[in-house]
Each structure stands twice: as structure tokens, then as C-alpha cells.
Amino acid sequence: MADRRAIATAARLYFVYATRIVDARAARSTGRGRELPFLRLRFPGDPAIIRRRAKGASLGRVGRRAVDGVWKEHERRNCASRGGVCPPGGGVPTGAVIILFSFDYIAHYENQNEYYTMAVVFLGAMMGLVFSSNLVYLYVFWEITGIASWRLIGFYRGKTDVLKADKAFLMTALGALVMLIGILAIHGLTGTFDLGAMKGTALPLGISALLLVGLLSKSATLPFQTWLPDAGVAPSPVTALLHAAVLVKIGVYVFARLFLSTFVFDEALRTIVASIAGASALVSAGAALVETDFKRIVAYSTVSQIGFIFLGLAMGNALGAAGALLYILMHGLAKAGLFLSAGIVEQNAGTKEITKLGGLMRSMPWTAVAFLLCAFSVMGIPPFGGFFSKYMVISAAVKADEMVFGAVFLAGALLTILYLFRLFTKVFLGEPHGVLAPEKSRLMVACVVLLAALSLVGGLAVGWPSELARVAISQMLGVAG
């Protein structure tokens, strides 16, 4: 009886507190204390405050356990309210390392305040998008990331920098406009913007295509990939945010949330997405093989690897989807390390042209080793994290009897090994083409080494992130494990 009273009291404390939060947010959003039904956003309560209130209610140890249980159940339901898509938590930690790297990298520029403001807005918009439970909020946060990235890409304010930033903004904004038309068409079809109420809805192929244009443009997938390599004019921490932590990843995240968790993912759309992903992976890998700009090579690599994520999501089975979610995390860690390594080389050597570099292993040993370890993960070399996720994605294609797609992405994996080894050899091995620049900032080097270590640990301890991906996929697809 005492246990039941404790549980009931804990539940009341939690739900009263959570209700007050939602009511207060709704009152501020409307100005009249009334919640707009199409702008509903779920805000979880603060467990620390709940525990303090529970302690004040003299619930004791049993009561605190009950509060913890209520909190965990709420988190489970909150995840389910987002369609079961609880993405691997790589974006914010990777973003934190990138911001830490920026302390030394950006230190000698005048417009630092704008940089840090836009970076925080960028990461905050990502979190807002993840926690949005309807298409209106999702679209608003989607556009905020585009505005922030526009300012960040044009950070140096040179003529070329501004043109490249404008190109990125226009391509992603036009794609978002097409996606908005699709969102309005969905509202006309369902009468709601709430994602939970749309679950199980079968969309016409035309509406799905409108959404897909916006998703592909944001994720820099063929034929909208050209803006991402051009964004290499930005500071390296910015390109790391774009390619590794946030921007291109929200495209695949929203794709998973809409087509795996909310709407019916029909066979025709699966084939279209897998075909586009395969073409994007091969074309961008081929471009990386002939490119001579350090950051553009790594950017083309991002376009290629996003194709692997789309393939996993398009296979329609739990193995592929879990591998795709796992690769979002593993690729984010490793690709951030590659871009930050490029930043160290560019800032110390004064060039991004690999034909003018060489022999930097002698003067930048820590950067070289960290770059190689991160490259191993992107290549899919065991025991790094990228190996397990790529193996799952290609195995999912075989399991779905899509041998052609499996062969295409196996070829893409081999090309990844070729162009990353070519890049490492040109930059860090061979004979130097000038003065060997040393590693000047210990903080910047430490950030790159940390990401390399996490890429390795992610593979050695792959069970934990794999379990997170398995739970998310079981909720998304409604399967047991």
C-alpha cells in the first residue's frame, strides 16, 4: 500500500509539473493562455526539480525510485512521440568538441561574437528540430539551421566566400520551399500538422517527392550536392559542423522520422531513394579521387557517405535502419576529426592544395595519426565504428535481395579507401614541398586526437550505440528487436 501511494504521489508531482510547463509555454506562444493545437510541442519535465519535490513530500527511498521510474517512462514516451526516432547522441558532443577547437582557431579573427552566436543557434535549432512533434515547428527549425549556416559559410566576408554562402543558402532554401509545398499538401490530406496523428498515412508519390526534394537538398545528395564542397571556403570548424555534426545529418534524420516512423514507405519510393543514394555515392567518390583541394576531397567524401545512410534507411528492414542510425554517429565523429585535421594543416601550412603539401607526418605527427584513425573509420576498417555500420547497411541490401545496390555500395566503400589513402599519402607522406609547419595549438590537436580515440572506442564498444539504434528502430518499425 505504501509503495502504491508513493508511486501515485510521484506521478502526480511529475504530471502537475509537466502540465504547468506546457501551459506556461502555450500562454507565452499565444498571449492569451490558450494553446494553439497546430503548434503543440512537448516539453519534458526536469527530473532534478521533481526529485526535490518528492523529497519534500517525504517519499523516502521508495518514492525516489518511483520518481525515477516515472521519469524513465516519460522519456520512453517522449521518444515514441517523436516517432521512436531517438538519434544516436553524436551531434551535440561532436559540436561541443568543434566549439572547443574554435577557441584557438578563431581567436585571431575580429567577428568572433557572430561566429559563436551563429554556432550556438545552429546547434540549438538542431535540438529544436529533434524535439518538434509537428511539421510546423520542424520546418521553422529546419530554416533556422539554413540561415545560421549561411552566415557561418560566409564568415570571412570575401567576395568568393559570400558567393559560396549565397549558393548554399539558395539551394537549401529552394529545396525547403518545395518541401513546404509538400507539408501544406499533407495538411490538406490529413487536416493536421501533428506527426503522431499522421502515423500510418499513405502519401501519394507526388507529395513524397516534394518532401524528398527538400531532404536531398539539405543533405547535399545528388543532384543537389554541389553547394557542400563549395562550402569549404568557410573556417574548418564550420565545415565540421556542416558535414559532421548537424546540417547534412538533419536531412537523413527527418527522412527517417517521416518515412520510417510516420508515413507508409512504399516500394516505388524505396527504389527511387536507393537509386539516388547509389548514384550520389559513386559520383562523389569519383570526384574525390581527382580533386586536389584538401577540404573539397573530405566534402565529397561526406556526400558519398550520406548515400550509405540513405541506402540503409531505404532497405526497409531493421538491420539497414539500425546500421544507418549507427553510421550517423560513427561518421559524425570521424568526419569531424578529418575536417579539423584539415583546419590544422591549412592554418599552419597556409594552403589546402594537396599538390603543395607533403611530408607533414614529420612536423605534425599527432595530427597525422589522428587523421589516419578517423579515415579508417570512414573507410570501414575493423575494428573502427564505421566498419560495423557499413557492414550492417550492405548486409541489409543483401537481406532485401537488392544485390545490385549491395554491389554498388561495396564499390563505393572500395573507392572510399582509395581516395582517403590518396589524401593521406599526398599530405602526410612523401617529400615536403616547402617548410614543414609545426603543430602550434595543443588544444586543436587534442580535439582531433579525442575524436580519433572516440572513433576507435565507438568500434571497440559498439554494443552500446548499437543497442540505442536497435531500440529506436524497434519503435520506428514496430518490430521486436
SS3 state of residue 353: strand
Predicted TM-score of the model (pTM) = 0.80
CB 354 within 8 A of CB 292: yes
Return the higher-pLDDT residue of 23 and 196: 196
pLDDT band at 373 (very low <50, low <70, confident <90, very high): very high
Q: What pLDDT, on a 0 to 100 scale, did the predictor assign at position 87? A: 47
**Distances from the Cα of 319 to the Cαs of 291, 381, 385, in angstroms?**
34, 19, 16
Interval 410-434 mean pLDDT: 92
Distance separating alpha carbons of residues 360 and 369, to the nearest angstrom: 11
How large is the average pLDDT for residues 68-95? 50
Residue 255's pLDDT is what?
Answer: 93
Q: Would you say how long the chain is, in residues?
A: 481
Calculate ∠ Cα 461-414-462, nearest 5°.
Answer: 5
Report phi then psi at 165, rounded to 5.
Answer: -65, -40
Residue 136 has a pLDDT of 94
Residue 480: its pLDDT value, please?
38
Where do we find the cell 549507427? 326
Closest CA to 280 of 261, 308, 245: 308
Return the domain boundaries, the chain: 2-76, 82-477
Plot region of 208 (φ>0 → left; ψ -120 to 50 → alpha; else → beta)? alpha
The whole-number average pLDDT for the span 391-414 is 93
pLDDT at site 473: 66
Cβ atoms of residues 84 and 78 within 8 Å: no
Residue 242 contacts residue 118 (beta carbons within 8 Å): no
**pLDDT score for 430:** 83
pLDDT for position 147? 92
Instruction: Band the pLDDT of 475: cuts 50, 70, 90.
Output: low
